[in-house]
């Protein structure tokens, strides 16, 4: 007999189903989020020592993102540096800006780490000045589309 009202059993079943759905959504977001991440940073830089003045030294930039973040050999990354903006006395902070530095290209990619080489350093004519020129440890990297 249908009365049009929801019974306690039906309420309990709906409650269990909604909990299962919430758990599935949580699991999807929690475990899939690293795959969406396209941002990392330079964690170390290694440079070879040349034996002749005619050889150009190479720099390898090690990054804390890799294959699991969608990178592969040949991927191009934009490099930015976080700069804290303060007044001239250093007493007042106005926040942080991200200043473009240059571009890196992946030469080797692994699940959680990749190695890149300098592709381009941006000129400072139309960009804020930096205290240190070039790409350095701590700089942020973003995958270009």
CA angle 13, 17, 22 (to 5 degrees): 150
In this prediction, residue 117 has a pLDDT band, given cuts at 50, 70 and 90, of very high
CATH fold of the domain at 37-143: Elongation Factor Tu (Ef-tu); domain 3 (2.40.30)
Give the C-alpha separation, 70 to 98, whole Å.
Answer: 23
- Are 94 and 73 in contact by the 8 Å Cβ rule? The answer is no
Give residue 78's pLDDT.
97
Q: Which tens digit of pLDDT belongs to each residue from 3-53?
A: 556 566 555 555 555 555 444 444 444 444 444 447 999 999 999 998 888
Give residue 38's pLDDT.
76
Tokens of 104: 């890196």
Domain locations in the chain as residue ranges: 1-36, 37-143
Q: Which tens digit of pLDDT belongs to each residue from 52-75?
A: 889 889 999 999 999 999 999 999
Mean local confidence (pLDDT), 93-101: 96
């Amino acid at each position: 007999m249908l009365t049009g009202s929801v019974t306690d059993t039906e309420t309990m079943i709906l409650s269990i189903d909604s909990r299962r759905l919430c758990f599935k959504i949580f699991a999807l977001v929690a475990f899939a989020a690293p795959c969406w991440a396209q941002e990392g940073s330079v964690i170390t830089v290694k440079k070879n020592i040349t034996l002749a003045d005619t050889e150009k030294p190479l720099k390898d930039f090690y990054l804390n993102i890799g294959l699991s973040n969608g990178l592969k050999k040949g991927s191009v990354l934009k490099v930015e540096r976080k700069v804290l903006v303060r007044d001239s006395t250093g007493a007042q902070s106005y926040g942080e800006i991200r200043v473009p530095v240059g571009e890196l290209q992946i030469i080797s990619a692994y699940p959680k780490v990749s190695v890149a080489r300098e592709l381009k350093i941006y000129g400072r004519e139309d960009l804020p000045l930096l205290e240190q020129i070039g790409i350095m440890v701590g700089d942020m990297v973003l995958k270009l589309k």
